[in-house]
Amino acid sequence: MSGLHDEIAQRLSDTLGIDKSLITPDVTFVELKIDSLALVEFSVILDEEYGVPPLHLTPDSTIGEAVALVAAAMTGPAEAAS
């Protein structure tokens, strides 16, 4: 698992109280009992922390998909600028 995965898992744990040992790349938000409202709240936090635009996540998205979207959003503007 990547450093970004660990970082996002930590934020999920800190903000929503999810047990970190349950946060694997394959698990979905709904499996972590994160409902759509909590997911929007987490998306707002990611926006504030990493400056990523609102992510197109659903409760059925996996953590791995979320990490990939954050990674793309973080590198995207930099590539465009270079």
| Shorter beta-carbon distance to other proteins: residue 12 or 67 | 12
| Shorter beta-carbon distance to other proteins: residue 21 or 82 | 21
| Shorter beta-carbon distance to other proteins: residue 54 or 77 | 54
Q: Which residues bind other proteins (CB under 8 A)?
A: 13-18, 37-38, 40-41, 44, 47-48, 53-54
62: which strand partners? 28
Q: In the structure, how many helices (H) and strands (E) does the chain have?
A: 3, 0
Q: How far apart are CA 35 and CA 50, in angstroms?
A: 22
What is the smallest separation between the CB atom of 79 and other proteins, expressed in angstroms?
A: 23
Q: How far apart are CA 20 and CA 27, in angstroms?
A: 12
